[in-house]
A = this chain, B = another copy of it.
């Protein structure tokens, strides 16, 4: 179960991928595989939730890491980058880290 709360002491990654519609489902599968095989075992991983856009041209990853440092260490991990390389061949991404400042209800 993934929870969003101002009480969670996590760094939140919102990563929005843009992709051709014919590759959206493939990108979803690649991100789920990367998460299952690698990301979830890395230090500081808390959660990842993969979303596909209703317009067919985006996939969003809402992920939680224990800290910005853990997230940045993942970016340098060879197993993680090996997953990201084929993803970069079919998609562009826009990734930023956030802090939850309010949540209702």
Residues of B within 8 A of A60 (CB): 14, 96, 98
Docked-complex contact A53 and B97, CB < 8 angstroms = yes
Within 8 A of B (CB), among A55-71: 55, 58, 60, 62, 68
Identical chains bound together, number: 2
Residues of B within 8 A of A98 (CB): 51-54, 58, 60
Given A49-B102, A50-B102, A103-B47: A4 and B96 interface contact (C-beta under 8 Å): no
Whole-angstrom CA separation of A14 from B54 in the bound complex: 12
Interface residues of A, Cβ cutoff 8 Å to B: 1-5, 11-12, 14, 16, 28, 31-32, 35-36, 40, 47-55, 58, 60, 62, 68, 96-105
